[in-house]
């Protein structure tokens, strides 16, 4: 994995991501050789859903009888954000009732569910892994926030974020950088928060570090507000 020029994950989290990335690269290459194209980078999602026979889950409100888009492949292992870090991300973004929060690579949906339950914010979570989509929709249902939260199986590089007040990320540095042109176009005042990874070239408005329980590794949360200040070379 390429880095942004700064240490990112340390210790066990680094090893987990590195091993998963290599495994998925091999899987993607194998399928490419069999005539399957590998997907471009997207969310931090699970290495579990590798079978080309797994159907694409229809987006909320979409007719299940309509043809679905070709399945795209995960890049790296799904590493859930610890709940205390989720809470800190939402606190740093000053999420409030009525905000429209978009989580890019929503995993099990914990960020959008917490934002809805704790603050009354509306949320949309995006992921490409059918397993994560199922888990996140179940999480929404269990917590009774269906009226506020929507989960969509979509490539977040292609979604419309024009209505977003808050965007949350837990992606790799190079994916954050790829998203910058899209994020730069968001309306002024939109808050962007990222767990552990910065956006090279964009100066954070705030940076907070915290430890979770007995975790020996420190978590970092970055906040930017559109339009962000460019970092000096």
Mean pLDDT across 71-97: 88
pLDDT digits (tens, 9 = 90+) for 95-142: 999 999 999 999 999 999 999 999 999 999 999 999 999 999 999 999
Q: Residue 208: its pLDDT value, please?
A: 98
Task: Confirm if 43 and 130 have CB atoms less than 8 A apart.
Answer: no
Length of the chain: 233
22 found inside a domain: no
- Cβ-Cβ contacts under 8 Å for 172 (sequence gap 6 or more): 1, 8, 17, 41, 44, 75, 76, 197
Q: Which domain, by its residues, includes 135?
A: 83-230
1 found inside a domain: no
72 found inside a domain: no
Q: Tokens at residue 121, please? A: 């914010």
176 found inside a domain: yes
Mean pLDDT across 172-188: 96
Question: What CATH number does residue 202 fall under?
Answer: 3.40.50.150
What proportion of the chain, given as a percentage, has pLDDT over 90? Answer: 63
What proportion of the chain, given as a percentage, has pLDDT over 70? Answer: 67
Q: How confident is the model at residue 58 (pLDDT cuts 50, 70, 90)?
A: low
* DSSP character string of 187-205: PTT-EEEEES---TTEE-S
Q: Which residue has the higher pLDDT, 5 or 87?
A: 87
Mean pLDDT across 57-68: 52
3-state secondary structure of 43: coil
100 found inside a domain: yes
Number of domains in the chain: 1
27 found inside a domain: no
Q: Residue 60: its pLDDT value, please?
A: 52
Mean pLDDT across 192-212: 96
208 found inside a domain: yes
Q: How confident is the model at residue 218 (pLDDT cuts 50, 70, 90)?
A: very high
């Amino acid at each position: 994995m390429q880095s942004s020029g700064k240490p990112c994950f340390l210790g066990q989290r680094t090893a987990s991501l590195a091993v998963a990335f290599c495994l998925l690269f091999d899987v993607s290459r194998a399928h490419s050789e069999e005539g399957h194209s590998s997907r471009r980078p997207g969310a931090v999602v699970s290495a579990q859903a590798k079978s080309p026979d797994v159907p694409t889950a229809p987006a909320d409100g979409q007719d299940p009888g309509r043809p679905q888009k070709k399945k795209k492949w995960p890049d790296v292992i799904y590493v859930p954000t610890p709940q205390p870090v989720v809470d800190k991300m939402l606190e740093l973004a000053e999420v409030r009732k009525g905000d429209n929060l978009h989580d890019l690579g929503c995993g099990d949906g914990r960020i959008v569910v917490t934002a809805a339950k704790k603050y009354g914010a509306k949320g949309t979570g995006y992921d490409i892994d059918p397993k994560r989509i199922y888990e996140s929709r179940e999480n929404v249902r269990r917590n009774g926030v269906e009226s506020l939260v929507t989960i969509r199986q979509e490539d977040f590089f292609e979604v419309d974020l024009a209505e977003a007040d808050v965007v949350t990320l837990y992606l790799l540095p190079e994916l954050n950088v790829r998203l910058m042109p899209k994020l730069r176009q968001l309306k002024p005042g939109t808050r962007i928060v990222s767990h552990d990874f910065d956006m090279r070239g964009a100066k954070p408005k705030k940076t907070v570090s915290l430890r979770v329980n007995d975790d020996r590794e420190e978590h970092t949360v970055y906040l930017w507000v559109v339009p962000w200040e460019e970092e000096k070379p």
